[in-house]
Amino acid sequence: MELDDAWGALRRGPLRMARTTWAVRAWWYLVGSSLIGLLALLVALTLLALGMLTAPVLVGIPLLFALPLVAVAVAHRERRRLRLLQPGHETPADPRALPASPRAWWRDRGAYRPTAREVGFTVLLATFGWLVDLIVAANLAVVLGASLASPVLAHYDSVVVLGPWELTSAAEALPFALIAVPVTWVLGGYLLTALAAAQASLTRLLLTTSEQELARRVGELRASRLELVDAFEVERKRIERDLHDGVQQRLVALSMTLGQAELDIDDGPGAETVQRAQEQVREALAELRTTIRGIHPRVLIDLGLEAAVREIADRMPTPSSVHLDVPRSTPAAEAAGYFVVSEALTNVVRHSGARQVEITGAAGAGTLSLIVRDDGVGGADPRHGSGLVGLQHRLDALGGTLEIASPHGGPTEVRMRCPWPAP
Amino acid sequence: MPVARTVSAPLRIVVAEDFALLREGLVGILERAGHTVLAAVDTAEGLLAFVRHDPPDVVITDVRMPPGHSDEGLRAAAAIRAAHPDVAILVLSQYVADAYLDALLEAEGPGGTGYLLKERVGHVREFLDSLDRVARGGLVVDPDVVRQLLTRRRDAGPLAALTEREREVLSLMAEGRTNSSIAEALVVSEAAVRKHVGNIFAKLDLAPDSDRRVSAVLAWLRG
């Protein structure tokens, strides 16, 4: 949406902006700022004076300590007031909570220190910022009010002087008011809104801390990485589906056609050739199935992690026991779990010399914990050419973790934790 | 010699498979083998509707079918078993999954039951043999499924006590083969197979000569 802040309204030009209430908001914003700035100045001066006077009798010490709180309070107020001119933007967060009571403040007073930018902003507003705001806001109000009231004033009063114009009667003032009011509203309102918008942008710049900015960008990065992992998973599923519903079905159909030929021809060299072709189809299907399994196994899509893990566990030469009790989750999470088990089991078979593997896992409170444990020789180092490193990155993107504990002499334990949202 | 002439009893069959090429291939094989294909449909609903109006001898169905492409075929099979217990059901699947086997064994009834990988259909002789056994009320399980079950129980004590030959016999038995079929596959006499079967039942502590020896063996393997 275009009009999510005052700048958007300004960009549409004075005439179109004049048909909205933005000038009123901007005026109200400036009045607020000037009052806050003035109040801050008075409070700060009072604290300073009282504190210095009473410091010898110790009462003044807490008063002087409270001085920085003025900046904290001003920053807090001004952050919230940004909504007035930037309703479409997020309000910057306070770097700290406000103290609940004077006692709480005194106990943790170190925690309520304002940032250098907050102090600078407050000084700016309390010294001359409030004055500028007040002059501009008051000026516009007076000029607009006087122009509006000029016919009445000229009627009852004698002479109304507005800048270079002197109006002596209502008849003279009426055409003046008819021209001056709209002009003031359009041009004055536009300039005032421009000042207010500039001030709001400066406020946002000074009162958004760099850590918040960094945190926001880290959040964005994490989100985009997650999107990437999801997109990757969608693509893998698409390839799997193409192979599964396309190539694999066609090979099976080919095998059936060969089967029909087998029924049609008598025993002999012809039949032997057909049978050899059948054998080749069988091998092609076996190879295709292995490929599909490495991409995104169908049993994982259809029946979930538990069934898919049982299937790989059953296929491997090392005896295994599977204790899994997990509900269905998102494709990305299920795939991560599946490939961790698959990679861990591959390592068990290749390197560990284990005689027994145990796969345990459970999902609770939105998190999956999964452990693959073998009784092999241990000493596995995930940094040396293991697919587990890639999986670590993948899990990281999902907000999960992967740990490998493999002391020399065994046992090796691969532990995975991963957010497990409902599908 | 073409197999078509050796088929004992022509069966009345309904086929449900959503992929046209496979449906045609399946129908082609069945008809060449001398069976009658009453209907070839592409949805579980179509299958149920047809069976309701004219129950066949055997239903051959894919697991995954429109609209959901999950386990529509299996659910249709369970519904048919409940309504027409005598109709034999042969389920074809793209891959091996325990959940499918469990669902099928639960639905065991007087009509035969079978669970085969789709690609077995191409091996016509074995496929037609499996079909005959299912039609006669037998239980037929894909060799891959049996292999997985055996791998899983490999660490279990009694299985380790079996000889290599006894293990082979056990696998074939779990697939649902008869003694004569096992004897043929292993090129031994039927008497030898009977002896092996006796040993296996003793070692696994199963009741000998049970009527449902296939399900007994499968139940033992599934632990």
CB pairs under 8 A between A and B: 98
Q: Tell me: the pLDDT tens digits for A6-22?
A: 888 888 888 888 888 88
Say which amino acid occupies B16.
A
Q: Tell me: the pLDDT tens digits for A255-311?
A: 999 999 988 888 888 889 998 999 999 999 989 988 888 888 888 888 889 989 988
Top-confidence residue, B121 or B217 = B121
pLDDT of residue A309: 92
Q: pLDDT at residue B7 above 60? A: no
Other beta carbons within 10 Å of B49: 12
Determine the distance in angstroms separating the CA of B149 from the nearest CA of chain A, rounded to an integer: 8
Rounded to two decimals, the ipTM of the complex is 0.83
Q: How far apart are CA A78 and CA A87, in angstroms?
A: 14
Q: At which residue do the structure tokens 């016999």 appear?
A: B169
Contact B222, B205 (CB under 8 A): no
Q: Tell me: the pLDDT tens digits for B66-119?
A: 888 888 999 999 999 999 999 999 999 887 777 777 777 777 778 899 999 998
Q: pLDDT at residue B55 above 90? A: yes
Residue of chain A whose alpha carbon sits nearest to that of B95: A299
Architecture of the domain made up of B145-221 = Orthogonal Bundle (1.10)
Q: Of B202, B141, B200, B209, nearest to B176 (Cα)?
A: B141
Report pTM.
0.60
| Lookup: tokens for B37 | 């294909």
Determine the distance in angstroms separating the CA of A330 from the nearest CA of chain B, rounded to an integer: 17
Distance of CA A390 to the CA centre of its chain: 25
Q: Which of A14-28, A185-199, B6-20, B130-144 has the lowest mean pLDDT?
A: B6-20
B interface test, pick of A237, A245, A252, A288 with most B CB neighbours within 10 Å: A252
Using the Cα atoms of residue B89, residue B93, residue B96 and residue B97 in order, give the sign of their dihedral.
Answer: negative
Topology adopted by domain B12-141:
Rossmann fold (3.40.50)
Q: How far apart are CA A242 and CA A137, in angstroms?
A: 68
Residue of chain A whose alpha carbon sits nearest to that of B155: A319
Interval A315-327 mean pLDDT? 86
Contact A356, A393 (CB under 8 A): no
Are B12-141 and B145-221 in the same CATH fold? no
Contact B21 A253 (CB under 8 A): yes
Q: Where are the domains of chain B?
A: 12-141, 145-221
Backbone angles phi, psi at A371, to 5 degrees: -130, 130
Contact A134, A125 (CB under 8 A): no
